Chains A and B, each alone.
Chain A
Amino acid sequence: MTWDQILVTISGFFLIALIIKFFWMKPKNSQPNIAVTDGIQKQLIIVKGGYTPDTISVQKDIPVRLTFRREENASCSEMVVLPDFEKSEKLPEGKEINIDFTPSQTGEFEFTCQMGMYRGKLLVSA
């Protein structure tokens, strides 16, 4: 191996390690439960390249209202699906869309765009 090959190989594996670390080893952020106002757990979620915030912690048996606001026109994110709650809504750009439901079980529930590229998590605790 010549020096340039060694250099390319080392940088290559370094980049691979970086990709794995960056995309797959995200720190688990434990967030406090969202606040309850007027008996509803409300959270605004911005849809732009992903969901912000993408992890939402709520309490069981208290109504949840997730308000989605899509701030991009990429067609990938034009719909949000909560398969476990049988909810799906179209998200017109710039419009706030409410999704209301009451989680009756604890656990981790995903919400995604229709094609599964954007992902968010709903953590339901007792």
Chain B
Amino acid sequence: MLHAHHHKNEVSPSISSVRLGLKGMGCASCVATIEEALLAQKGIHTASVNFAASTVEIGFDSDIVSVSAIRQVIKEAGYSAVESRDDSEESLQKEEAEKLAEYQTLMKKFWLAGAISIPNVLLMYPQLIPGLNEFMPPESLERQIVWMIQGVLTTFVLFWSGSQFFTGMWAALKHRSANMHTLISVGVSAAYLYSIVATLFPHIFPKEAAAEPFWDVTTVVIALVVLGLAMESKAKGKTSEAIKKLIGIQAKTARVIRGGTQKEIPVEEVLVDDIVLVRPGEKIPVDGIVTEGASSVDESMITGEPIPAEKSVGDEVIGATINKNGTFYFRATKVGKDTALANIIRLVQQAQGSKAPIQRIVDQVAAFFVPTVMILSLLAFMGWYNFGPEPRFIFAIISLVTTLIIACPCALGLATPTSLTVGIGKGAENGILIRSGDALQKAEKINAIILDKTGTITEGKPALTDITVMPDFEDNEVLKLAASLEALSEHPLAEAVVEGAKQADLSLVPAHDVKAVTGHGISGTVEGRNVLIGTSKFLSEQGVAVDGLIDIAEIYTPKGKTPILIAIDGKAAAVFAVADKVKADSKEAIAQLHRMGLEVFMITGDNKVTAEAIAKEVGVDHVLAEVLPEQKAHEVQKLQSRGKVVAMVGDGINDAPALAAADIGLAIGSGTDVAIEAADITLIKGSLKGVVTAMDISRATMRNVKQNLLGAFGYNVLGIPVAMGVLYPFFGILLSPIIAGGAMAFSSVTVVSNANRLRFYKPKGAKS
């Protein structure tokens, strides 16, 4: 049974600290005002305002004042305190609402343009509708009047459905720059102005020009481009689905134990060192360490690991993960903007906004693109007018409009960022945090990968792997006696033995007369039997015949395992082997890395024998053994000087220099410490499989980026000359501006949709 009052003594004097965001600070003198107001409040011990960051750190006694009271103090001083919690959820909602409004407006504009396009198109071909040609024969007043009515309707479409093109063009012109809006507005305006002249003064054109207005072109192009923008906006919303999911999983409330009672409070009011109760099925509100109870926790939303993690006292729990079956208490260690989830969201958003180096080409092209297209359209006009067949003027104006409309700078601009957004989001879904577009692009080029042994390939802590007993002794009996004695030792190998007994479901018993000889062994009495544990020297000094045990021990040593000898009641009893166990899926992950064409190295400070043994077990082909920690970065550089593009995988702390030296540093983190500075890629989950997935996602994303860039460049490079009419002399083909409008809208939608295909990416070897 768990009782809340157990914790009364643990939450001693209730000194808490909280960081709040501040709004309304206009000058440096506000700092003093706020600090004074806060310190005047009973229960607040410290207050320090950071003016540049607009935050305040407050140390206070949570038994006397609450966070909401502190907020009130700040408010009364004339400022407002914003949630210390990340406001990402609020801004996400606002953004979604904006996006939806944009989409709805675009669709309204499309419906108007589309509705008016239907009569506009039909009336351009009166011969198709029985009786219409008779009603309005060519060059009749009736036909001119119909054209005028169309003109009035088209004017509405142009200035309402097409309004954003003009405002967009104008805003850019003020900066002496041009964009997609410029091309569309100039293009449709040319068609529109020509149509006005053709309607009002048909006779100023030579007879053979058979002047016909382009009302249909004007409205259909606007309808198509606006529809394209609407679809693009929808599709772009999907690219950030992954981050939206992450933002949405934050817990709303927490059950904390304060003053001996249980209280449900908003999650943003949870303070560091609060004791939090989590019941079965509930979301863990913030990060912390379990203090009482045990449970299994579904961490898949953070780590990507589908199998629930077992948690007991001393284990780390991550906010926003879901408690499955047990009830437990934990002490909050990270709250608000410091939680793993908040850090992940921040990192992912930052990365999604970053640029991949490949985009530099696009940026350079973008600066020249639109004016160049305008120049080309003028050249096309002049070419047709001077050298084209009759009606020259009509051909000239069609090629001008078509060239302006078909060019699509947006497809180019969207190509890289949309794929990056989806790819980096996909990484986060699988527990892989890619720091930037730069990192992602580099990861694709990796051809050699160095894996740190301890903690990366292996679990990073010794575990009991083998037990060999002498005749007359039984495995579990020896283990129980040995573990009962080792439970009182602080030696790291002893811990492995105790853990081994726990896993075998053995209950320990008290040990007496315990004597430890540092570096050699331990002796004591358990259940009335004399137990000796230690080296062969220690045992033989106590008069035990150890020859048989030594023979067994010698089997383990070459395998990289450490033998522990045990004697019971003066008789040689057993040899335990303790080793840093290889993680369950290391071997498979390494095989996958090989299949991906990577050269795999293992780096370790261990001696050659031990290193080779592990390397053989997991299938690594190159071993860098006996490398001191400070030499690891040097080994990375040595590989680089041989022309390799090197990824280094290690923990973020000891291996930081090597991670930084590598072309790509992957930090195998675990738990809540996700903001690992030295790493280009952080794997939240400890498994090496994450390395495979990280490499794979990078490759898939870069492939997608390249498809997009190729498509967007190809489209423009082919489309623009065709629109200008280069095919006409050979095949008699000149595109209609309507087709150009459709192609332009379609091209940018295609780019975004192609990026969205990445959403269906599944990590290699994952079971769906």
Per-residue B-contact encoding for A75-118, CB less than 8 Å = 1, 0 else: 11001010100101110110000001000000000001011111
Chain A contacts of B350 at CB under 8 A?
86, 88
Chain B contacts of A50 at CB under 8 A?
171-172, 174-175, 177
CA distance A54 to B367 in the complex (A): 14
Q: Is A28 an interface residue (CB 8 A)?
A: no
B371 touches A20 (CB 8 A): yes
Q: Is B375 an interface residue (CB 8 A)?
A: yes
CA distance A22 to B170 in the complex (A): 14
In A10-36, the 8 Å CB interface with B consists of 12-13, 15-16, 19-20, 22-24, 26
B366 touches A116 (CB 8 A): yes
A79 touches B371 (CB 8 A): no
B355 touches A83 (CB 8 A): yes
A90 touches B95 (CB 8 A): yes
Interface size on A, residues (CB 8 A): 47
Known: A74-B168, A93-B98. A117 touches B413 (CB 8 A): yes
Q: Is A1 an interface residue (CB 8 A)?
A: yes
B371 touches A114 (CB 8 A): no
Known: A5-B386, A50-B171. A116 touches B359 (CB 8 A): yes
B355 touches A119 (CB 8 A): no
B367 touches A119 (CB 8 A): yes
In B163-182, the 8 Å CB interface with A consists of 164, 167-168, 170-181
CA distance A90 to B164 in the complex (A): 21
Q: Contacting A48 at CB < 8 Å: which of B99, B171, B368?
A: B171
Q: Is B690 an interface residue (CB 8 A)?
A: no
**Chain A: CB-nearest residue to B350:** A88
Interface size on B, residues (CB 8 A): 58
Q: Contacting B164 at CB < 8 Å: which of A54, A63, A74, A93?
A: A74
B382 touches A9 (CB 8 A): yes
Instruction: Decide if the interface of chain B is mainly helix, strand, loop or mixed.
Output: helix
Closest chain A CB from B20 CB (angstroms): 17
In A61-81, the 8 Å CB interface with B consists of 63, 65, 72-76, 79, 81
A117 touches B371 (CB 8 A): no
Chain B contacts of A74 at CB under 8 A?
164, 168, 181
Q: Is B381 an interface residue (CB 8 A)?
A: yes
B91 touches A92 (CB 8 A): yes
Closest chain A CB from B635 CB (angstroms): 28
Closest chain B CB from A1 CB (angstroms): 7
Q: Contacting B375 at CB < 8 Å: which of A16, A79, A90, A118?
A: A16
Chain A contacts of B382 at CB under 8 A?
8-9, 12-13
Per-residue A-contact encoding for B395-417, CB less than 8 Å = 1, 0 else: 01000000000000110111001
Q: Is A124 an interface residue (CB 8 A)?
A: no
**Chain A: CB-nearest residue to B172:** A49
CA distance A35 to B39 in the complex (A): 33
A selection of 26 A-B contacts at a CB cut-off of 8 Å is: A8-B396, A12-B381, A23-B177, A23-B178, A40-B52, A50-B171, A50-B172, A52-B174, A63-B52, A72-B171, A73-B98, A73-B102, A74-B168, A75-B236, A81-B353, A81-B355, A86-B350, A86-B436, A90-B95, A115-B362, A115-B417, A116-B413, A117-B177, A117-B179, A117-B409, A119-B177
Q: Which residues of A contact B (CB under 8 A)?
A: 1, 5, 8-9, 12-13, 15-16, 19-20, 22-24, 26, 38-40, 48-52, 54, 63, 65, 72-76, 79, 81, 83, 86, 88-90, 92-93, 100, 112, 114-119
